[in-house]
């Protein structure tokens, strides 16, 4: 553990040199704050994931035909610090004023509503059941990259917050509420996250039939996709759907966990069975992906891809509430995979921040409300671009 000043100086030096690195913090767990960690690669070599036996931090695009990058532990310095604030409970301010002029927004609105309508038509024609459609928005920002990252760490305790830099991908930052997959030994966890509404001081809210249906579709698809990895000797248990807060938004969420059948569970196959999930792509997966690649008029790149620790050596902290014998087990070293879906993210270009926002479309979707949802989602990122 180093102090946070030294931690951020090390990141800055890496940025100056243009070397690949990642800094990140996992979501707060039952009020227990996670430390902020970084993997700082020592040289300029580009490493790609080959067979998912690698150890390090992976950064994978939406389109899984393209390569996934990795900052390997083997060639990196690992550092860790404590850096957190109790700001998460506050509402994220709506920041419409300083951002793009109305003219631009009108055009963007029409374009996004047309795209959503196209998706609805495709669903009504019976060719798709659900499709997630998105757009990008470019805004100017005044803060340098570490300042934006610190803002994310301050504001979003319950998200997975990261800053990724690689000379081949550029700088990306995000605060995502969505787990793709966590695996430790033969235990796994994932979630079905879909349905969105604004947060107004309470998480005790009602959900409409459209949101409940949409979220159930995602849960069912995840359970079905995982079945072959858990059947026979493994098991899988979904929670009841519940409301989960993410910045200024609420989502409907089901946690799924279980044990894997060691004969069929292979990390590469498991990831490709899940990614891209119906929470960011659609159903059926292949046709939804095709529709997205053809009809969205920009390249998602790493937005709605996944990222996180891959087979990373982790020393479990002792838990003083447990009996001695169990403490022994909890102090052991294991390999952990902790992957998140790359949502609520920003790609930085000199002076410009490109934001990415989307939403799930089903037969009952309304284009104008879908536009509003993307505007609400964009506040998560806009709020960290200002002082």
Ligand X SMILES: C=C(O[C@@H]1C=C(C(=O)O)C=C[C@H]1O)C(=O)O
Q: Which residues bind ligand X (CB under 6 A)?
A: 132, 134, 178, 193-196, 251, 279-280, 343-344, 357-360, 377
CB of 222 to ligand X, least distance (A): 12
Cis? peptide before 284, omega within 30° of 0: yes
CB of 372 to ligand X, least distance (A): 12
CB of 57 to ligand X, least distance (A): 22
Q: Which is nearer to ligand X, 71 or 279 (CB)?
A: 279
Q: Which is nearer to ligand X, 76 or 179 (CB)?
A: 179
Q: Which is nearer to ligand X, 25 or 251 (CB)?
A: 251
CB of 304 to ligand X, least distance (A): 6
Token pair recorded at residue 160: 């997975």
CB of 360 to ligand X, least distance (A): 3
What is the rounded CA–CA span in Å between residue 342 and residue 57?
Answer: 13
What is the rounded CA–CA span in Å between residue 241 and residue 219?
Answer: 9
Q: Which is nearer to ligand X, 134 or 248 (CB)?
A: 134
What is the rounded CA–CA span in Å between residue 290 and residue 326?
Answer: 49
Q: Which residue is nearest to ligand X (CB)?
A: 360
What is the rounded CA–CA span in Å between residue 357 and residue 335?
Answer: 33
Q: Which is nearer to ligand X, 200 or 387 (CB)?
A: 200
What is the rounded CA–CA span in Å between residue 384 and residue 7?
Answer: 20
Q: Which is nearer to ligand X, 20 or 359 (CB)?
A: 359
Mapped onto helix, strand or coil, the DSSP state of residue 40 is strand
CB 247 within 8 A of CB 197: no
CB 263 within 8 A of CB 228: no
Looking at the chain, the number of H-run helices and the number of E-run strands are 8, 18
Q: Which is nearer to ligand X, 26 or 251 (CB)?
A: 251
C-alpha pair distances (Å), 15 with each of 47, 77, 299: 18, 15, 25
CB of 361 to ligand X, least distance (A): 8
Length of the chain: 387
What is the rounded CA–CA span in Å between residue 297 and residue 309?
Answer: 31
Residues with Cβ within 8 Å of 301's Cβ and at least 6 positions away in sequence, in order, are 61, 62, 169, 347
- How many other CB atoms sit within 10 Å of the CB of residue 67? 14
CB of 186 to ligand X, least distance (A): 27
β-pair partners for 341 = 306
Q: Which is nearer to ligand X, 280 or 283 (CB)?
A: 280
CB of 251 to ligand X, least distance (A): 5
């Amino acid at each position: 553990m180093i102090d946070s000043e030294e931690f951020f100086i090390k990141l800055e030096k890496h940025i100056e040199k243009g070397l690949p690195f990642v800094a990140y913090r996992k979501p707060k767990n039952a009020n227990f704050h996670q430390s902020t960690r970084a993997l700082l690669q020592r040289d300029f070599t580009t490493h790609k994931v080959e067979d998912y036996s690698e150890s390090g931090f992976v950064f994978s695009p939406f389109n899984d035909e393209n390569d996934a990058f990795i900052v390997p532990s083997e060639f990196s310095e690992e550092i860790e610090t404590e850096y957190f604030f109790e700001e998460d409970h506050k509402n994220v301010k709506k920041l419409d004023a300083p951002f793009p002029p109305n003219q631009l927004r009108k055009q963007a609105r029409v374009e996004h509503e047309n795209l959503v309508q196209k998706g609805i038509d495709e669903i009504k024609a019976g060719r798709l059941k659900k499709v997630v459609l998105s757009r990008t928005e470019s805004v100017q920002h005044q803060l340098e990259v570490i300042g934006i990252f610190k803002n994310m760490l301050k504001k979003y305790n319950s998200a997975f917050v990261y800053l990724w830099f690689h000379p081949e991908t550029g700088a990306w930052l995000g605060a995502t509420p969505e787990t793709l997959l966590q695996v430790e030994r033969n235990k796994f966890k994932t979630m079905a996250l879909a349905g969105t509404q604004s947060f107004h001081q309470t998480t005790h809210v009602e959900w409409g039939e459209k949101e409940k249906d949409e979220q159930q579709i995602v849960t069912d698809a995840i359970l079905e996709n995982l079945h072959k990895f858990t059947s026979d000797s493994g098991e899988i248990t979904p929670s009841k759907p519940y409301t989960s807060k993410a910045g200024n938004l609420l989502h409907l969420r089901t946690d799924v966990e279980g044990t894997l059948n060691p004969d069929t569970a292979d990390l590469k196959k498991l990831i490709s069975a899940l990614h891209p999930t119906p929470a960011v792509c659609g159903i059926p997966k292949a046709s939804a992906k095709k529709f997205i690649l053809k009809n969205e008029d920009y390249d998602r790149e790493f937005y709605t891809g996944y990222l996180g620790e891959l087979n990373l050596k982790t020393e479990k902290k002792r838990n003083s509430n447990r009996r001695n014998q169990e403490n022994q087990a909890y102090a052991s070293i294991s390999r952990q995979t902790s992957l998140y879906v790359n949502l609520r993210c920003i790609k930085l270009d000199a002076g410009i921040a490109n934001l990415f926002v989307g939403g799930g479309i089903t037969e009952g979707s309304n284009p104008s409300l879908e536009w509003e949802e993307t505007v609400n989602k964009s506040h998560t990122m806009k709020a960290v671009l200002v002082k």
